[in-house]
Structures are given as C-alpha cells and as structure tokens.
Amino acid sequence: MRVLYPLAANLLLLVASFGVGNLLRPLFPQTLGKLDRLAATALGGLGILGTLLFLIGLLRFSRSVILGALIVAAVFGVAAILREVKAPDSHFSLSGVLVLPAMAVALILVITFVGGFAEPVGDIKLDAISYHFLGPRVWLRDAVIHPLPDEAHASFPAVVETLFAALTSVGGTRAPELFAVIALSLLLVVAFGFALRMGLDSRGAWWTVALVGTMPVVYRGSYGGFNDAVVAGLCLLALRFALDAVEPKDYALAGIFAGLAMGSKYTAIIAFLLIAGCVFLNIFRGGDQKPGKIQGLLVFFCSAAVVASPWYLRNWLVLGSPIYPPPPVLLRFFTVKYMSPEAIHALAALVRKEGDGMGRSLSSFLLLPVHLTYHPANFLNGAGGVGVALLALAPFGMWMLRRERSPQILLLFGFLQTVAWFLTEQEARFLIHLYVIFAIFASWGWRYVTVNAPRFGPLLSGVAVACSILYGSFMIVSSRLDDVHAAISSNFERQRMAREVPFLESFAYLNGNPEVGKVLVVAPRFPTFYLKKSYLKPVGRYGEESLPGVATHRLLENLAAFGITHVIDVRVDDKDFQLQGKTGNLALVFEKEDQRIYRVPSTLVVPTPTSPNTHNWH
Amino acid sequence: MDRTASRSQLRLEKLFPWLIELWIAAVLLGFFVVRILGSGLGQRLLSSLGIHATP
C-alpha cells in the first residue's frame, strides 16, 4: 500500500491534468511540437487543476469532492492522451535519443521515483514540514481550504500545495513526495522544447536537458515540498509563448501560464512583469507595431491577472492584503490580520538576512556567476550548485547568438531577473528558469568552442559538461540515499523517523489517544505537521497571532471556550518550557526530557463543533 | 593605420582560440580545487594521502 496508493494518486493527477490542460489546446500555436504540446498541456493542466480545486475547496474540500473532480478530469484526460498519441510527431523520436545524457536523466528520475515513496521527515526548519505540507494536512482535516493564522507562509499562493492536498487525500502523505517525478520530468520536457526553439538540434537539446536535470539546485527545487520546478516550467512556457506571440490568443496563452506561475509563487510576479517588459520591447524593436500587438499585450496582462486572482483576492478579503504576509511597504495601504507590523518588519528583516547570499555590493553582483558556481552553499538551498558548464561555456553561446533577436531578449530577461533576485532574496532555487536558459546558451557555447578552438576546445568543453553532469549526479544521488533507503526498508524508515521527527513520543501519545480532542500548542516552533488532531497555536513562529489580543495566560484560563482537551509544551531551539509554573489546574499526563503534555480537567472542557484553526473563519 | 588595425585583428584572431581554451581550463581548475578538493570527500581523500589542509 505504501507504493500503490501514492503511485495511483500521482497517475490519477497526471491524467486529470491532461484532461483539464486540454482546455488550452485551442490556444496552442499550430507550429508547436508534440512534446511541447504534451508538456504545456500537463503543466497548464496541473496549474488550472490546482486553481479549480482551490476554488472548490474554499467551499468544501473533502476526499469525495477531490476524488470526484479528479476522476471527471481524468476521463477527459484519457481521451486527450489517446488523441495526442495518434497525432504525428514533429520533433521527437526514440531513435534521436542520445544515450549518455538520457542515462544521466534516467538515473536522476529513477532515484526520484524510488525516493518519492519515503514518508516526509524533518523538523520545522524544513519548509515542507513548516508549511508546504502543513497547509494541505489542515485543509483536509477541516474539509475546507483556509489560511492558517498561526503560519503566515501557508497563505502563499498555493497551486502546487493544493495539488499536494489532493495527492495526500487520495494517496497518503507519501504521494506529494512522489510528485517530484512529475514536476522534474515536465520541467525537463519544457527545457527540451525551449532548446529546440532556440535553434539547437535534438542532440543539443538532450545535452541541455542533462545539464539541467543534474543541477543540484534545480533538483532541490523539485522535491521535498518545493514548488520551484513547476514555477520555473510555467515561467519558461509563458516566456516562450509571449516571445513567439502574434495574435491575441497567443498572448492569452502566455498570460495564462504567467498567471498560473503567479498562483504558485509570489516571486513569479517579478518574472511576469519582466516578461511583459521584454515582450513590449520585442514588439517595438520588431518594427511591425501592429495595433493587434498592443492589444495582445493587454490580453497578456488581463489573462494573467484573471488566472492568478483567486489567491490574491482570497488573501485580500480574508487576511487584509493580497500579498500575505505583506512586504513592509504594503503596510501603508493594507491593514492585515494575525500579524502585527512589528512581526512583519521582523519577518522581512529575516528574509533579507537569510537571502543575503554572498553580499549585495556591485562586486558581489559582478562575481555572481563565479560565486554560484564555486560557493553555491552560501545561497539558500544552493548546495551542490549549478555545475561548471554554465560558467565555462554559456559566455561563448551568448557571444555566438548576440545578434539574434530572441537570444537578445532572453539575455535581457535573464539580466533583469538576476538583478531583481539579487536585490530581493538570493535563494538559489528561485532562478531555476534562468539556469535552463543559460544551459541552452552553454550548449550553443559548446558548439562555438568546438568550431573556434579546435585544438583543445572540444576536449575541454567535453570535460566541463562531463564534470557538471557527473558531479551533479553524485550530489543528487547522495542527497537522496536516505530517502531511497527509507522507501525500501520499513525498519530504516522507523529508525529515521525516531531520529528526525522531533517530539515523536508526544505525537504518538496525542495521535493515538482517543481522549485527545483539541490540542493547545504553546511553543511557536512546534512542528504541527505531525499532529493529526485539531490544534490551536496562539503564537506562530514569525509572531503570528491566531487570537489577536489574547495572551497565552488568558487563553489558559479559558480553555473551555475553545474546547481544548490537552496542552503540549516543549523545549525547542534552546527555549525552555513556556508553561513553567503556569499550569494551574492542568494535569501532567506525559513527560519526556523536552516534552510535557497536560490534560485539561474534564469539567473545564466544553466541546465545540468547530476545530480551533477554523474557529476564526466561521 | 588600416594595416596596423588588421595586424592587431589578425593577432587577436590567432589568440582567440587560446583565450577560449584558457577560460575553460581556468574554470575547470577552479572547480577542481574549490568544489572537489574543498569538499568533505576531497578533504578525506587528501587526508588519507597525508595531505592536511591548514585553516
């Protein structure tokens, strides 16, 4: 069952994505190749499906509703796949597969597939545990999608997290981990199509895919709850369709993909604005400024805004700001709930500090390619790096294509996106779409070097590509060995959970005890992802206040009003127990070194029909 | 003037393949030193050969 359910859930989601993505088919350009159509259909379908499930989930998010939606979409998906299989192929054939790059990609995908069956573990420092998987778990428990007042990050746009919730509902908690295979595969197919679009032949496209697929940074953004591979794929498709757009329907298609990217991650807003700017420039440099193109740009803006709007409108209506938690500058315009201005400023300062990379000076910017190649661990989630081929070969590809219009636009986009990233948050995985573009330039650079430095150039280029692929594969495989081991050995998985899940004994007590109804979590950094019971966390890890104005000690005096049956207090991150000497009538029922669980005397408990986290929403 | 320009251009064209190779070789050398010898595995290998990195 630990294999069957997650696998079935992911297959169902993939087929359903083809069904929903088929809605985009009338907008696809006639010249689009078969593989590109498949990637755009599946990726677009996943995005639309995530958005639709979100809209449905605002009203009801039970397993039957999710399954019903997925099955209906999958029926259309089967028809769409059958039609696509019968369609003539334009670019891709198995005989054109290059063995070496294909083997590297296959190795990474096999590791991802096997490792995907491991149960997620880790403490609250992992984004997956703190919010990517927490939101889905709480939504499914409450059978409705709602913000989590104690975890601001769970209010980010969540196309991918909504899909995680659907996968969890059908296939259990392992299923979202397995989704990494779909996310990474689709990104690689998009990269293949983009490489062909940039003039490379099938051979060059295969090497591009191998370079991208074995970049540890790219890989890190595709598993463990991260949604960056999906966002990068959506951004690349938006960019590609926008650059090639002729008619308003082409711009609408590009806008839909940009909107889906913005519905998946805030950082895609910057990419969207830059794509719009580049398209604007493209139109005016082309010298064929037809009124239809300006109209097309408007269509691009509007379609993107409409597609992304559900997430931002929900946040605005429910939390007070379309972007939540808001950057401090938005506090002038919006009054937000559940976070004080001080907490928002502190969070912004933390993000800035963590995203400092190797500095923000001009010299740091100029040395960025060198730093990202040699010191990637200094950038958040950059460990393992992007490989050596980009720095070694991409400059020659840029030089070679410098006079062509599309590469010029791509370079401008890459430069502006890098500047924006450099000035905001230097998290390595936020640039995955640029790594794909620079891998394409590296493949062109390889050709340039082979022709223009025939003596040692081919050998040195080959070594650079081989180093990138081999070192990247080594880093990726070694980082997933524990997951693979856990997936194939129940014993090891149990040992790993005991080692890596904090407060495991308390979770066993609370989850397995039928007397436990609702739990009061007093430590802000307690990982509630593992808690299967309803809970109330009055203060979140970034100072979020679930019950604004109600101090914890006042809450302890009124536990009855919230239907709390148990209170958990832990020592975490060098912070002592929160309830030292303030336990009142609470009875200590479980104690371990860093963990204490109290039972609320039954006379104090007044059961309420709503769960604590939904308390504020109904 | 033209002859001087064409001569320097010719020299640059001759030099260009070398510059390309030098760039790639330098990047590879940097990668080898920083990422491979500087990694935990690299340090262990060097230690086993009796070479110890000094902080």
DSSP-assigned letters across all residues of A402-468: TTSHHHHHHHHHHHHHHHHHHHS--BGGGGHHHHHHHHHHHHHHHHHHHHH-TTTHHHHHHHHHHHH
- Reading the block at residue B4, the tokens are 């001087």
Q: Which pLDDT belongs to residue A94?
A: 66
pLDDT at A509 over 70: yes
- Report residue A454's pLDDT band, with 50, 70 and 90 as the boundaries: very high
Q: Which pLDDT belongs to residue A270?
A: 97
Predicted TM-score (pTM) of the model is 0.93
Mutate to test the interface with A, among B16, B22, B24 (most CBs of A within 10 A): B24
- Reading the block at residue A302, the tokens are 């509007």
Q: Which positions in chain B touch A371 (Cβ < 8 Å)?
A: none
Q: Name the helix (H) or strand (E) containing A520.
A: strand A518-521
> Hey, are the CB atoms on B27 and A455 less than 8 Å from each other?
no
Q: Which positions in chain A touch B17 (Cβ < 8 Å)?
A: 452-455, 457
Kindly report the nearest CA distance between residue A354 and chain B, in angstroms: 23
pLDDT at A287 over 70: no
Phi, psi of A2 (to 5 degrees): -70, -15
Q: Which pLDDT belongs to residue A91?
A: 54
Average pLDDT, chain A: 92
Low-confidence winner among A259-273, A389-403, A560-574 (lowest mean pLDDT): A560-574
Mutate to test the interface with B, among A375, A446, A467, A477 (most CBs of B within 10 A): A467
Query: Quick check: B20 and A377 in contact, CB under 8 A?
Result: no
> Does the bond joining A458 to the residue before it have cis omega, within 30 degrees of 0?
no
Residue A596: strand pairing partners = A569, A591
Q: Which pLDDT belongs to residue A609?
A: 45
- Reading the block at residue A406, the tokens are 């599309």
Residue numbers of B between 22 and 41 with CB closer than 8 Å to A: 23-25, 27-28, 30-31, 34-36
Number of A–B residue contacts, CB under 8 Å: 55
> Hey, are the CB atoms on A453 and B31 less than 8 Å from each other?
no
Please write down the HEC assignment for all residues of A260-322.
HHHCCCCCHHHHHHHHHHHHHHHHHHHCCCCHHHHHHHHHHHHHHHHHHHHHHHHHHHHHCCC
**What's the average model confidence in pLDDT over A473-477?**
95
Low-confidence winner among A13-17, A83-87, A337-341, A606-610 (lowest mean pLDDT): A606-610
- Report residue A486's pLDDT band, with 50, 70 and 90 as the boundaries: very high
Measured CA distances, A313 to A72, A163, A259, A461, A535 (Å): 27, 20, 13, 50, 27
Query: Residue A609: which of A600, A601, A618 has the closest Cα?
Result: A618
Top pLDDT among A125 and A282 is at A125
Residue numbers of A between 176 and 215 with CB closer than 8 Å to B: none
Residue of chain A minimizing CA distance to B33: A374
- Express each pLDDT in A175-188 by its tens digit: 999 999 999 999 99
- Reading the block at residue A445, the tokens are 């650079």
pLDDT at A618 over 80: no
pLDDT at A368 over 90: yes
pLDDT at A333 over 60: yes
Residue of chain B minimizing CA distance to A464: B28
CB nearest to A453's CB, from B21, B27, B28: B21
Give the CB-side neighbour count of residue A311, counting CA atoms within 13 A. Answer: 30
Residue of chain A minimizing CA distance to B13: A452
Mutate to test the interface with B, among A217, A358, A372, A374 (most CBs of B within 10 A): A374
Mutate to test the interface with A, among B29, B31, B32, B41 (most CBs of A within 10 A): B31
Contacts of A387 (CB under 8 A, 6+ apart): A211, A214, A215, A373, A467, A468, A469, A471, A472
Query: Quick check: A323 and A268 in contact, CB under 8 A?
Result: no
**What's the average model confidence in pLDDT over A336-341?**
95
Q: Which pLDDT belongs to residue B5?
A: 63
Query: Residue A402: which of A465, A448, A371 has the closest Cα?
Result: A448
Please write down the HEC assignment for all residues of A55-76.
HHHCCCCCHHHHHHHHHHHHHH
Contacts of A500 (CB under 8 A, 6+ apart): A121, A122, A123
Which DSSP symbol is given to A483?
A: H
Query: Residue A37: which of A84, A79, A82 has the closest Cα?
Result: A84
Q: Which positions in chain B touch A452 (Cβ < 8 Å)?
A: 16-17, 20
Q: What is d(CA A163, CA A555) in angstroms, rounded to the nearest whole number?
A: 35
Contacts of A448 (CB under 8 A, 6+ apart): A396, A397, A399, A400
CB nearest to B28's CB, from A375, A457, A464: A464
**Percent of chain A whose pLDDT exceeds 70:** 95
Q: What is d(CA A559, CA A326) in angstroms, rounded to the nearest whole number?
A: 31
Q: Which pLDDT belongs to residue A556?
A: 85
Q: Which positions in chain B touch A461 (Cβ < 8 Å)?
A: 24
- Express each pLDDT in A103-132 by its tens digit: 999 999 999 999 999 999 999 999 999 999
Q: Which pLDDT belongs to residue A613?
A: 46
> Hey, are the CB atoms on A454 and B16 less than 8 Å from each other?
no
> Hey, are the CB atoms on B21 and A455 less than 8 Å from each other?
yes
Question: Quick check: helix, strand or coil at residue A568?
Answer: strand
Q: Which pLDDT belongs to residue A282?
A: 78
Query: Quick check: A529 and A137 in contact, CB under 8 A?
Result: yes
Please write down the HEC assignment for all residues of A110-175.
HHHHHHCCCCCCCCCCCHHHHHHCHHHHHHHHHCCCCCCCCCHHHHCCCHHHHHHHHHHHHHCCCH
Q: Which pLDDT belongs to residue A10?
A: 98
A103, with CB counted inside 10 A (0-12, 13-18, 19+), is: middle
Query: Quick check: A557 and A547 in contact, CB under 8 A?
Result: no
Please list the ranges in chain B whose pLDDT falls under 50: 1, 55
Query: Quick check: A387 and A211 in contact, CB under 8 A?
Result: yes
Phi, psi of A536 (to 5 degrees): -130, 120
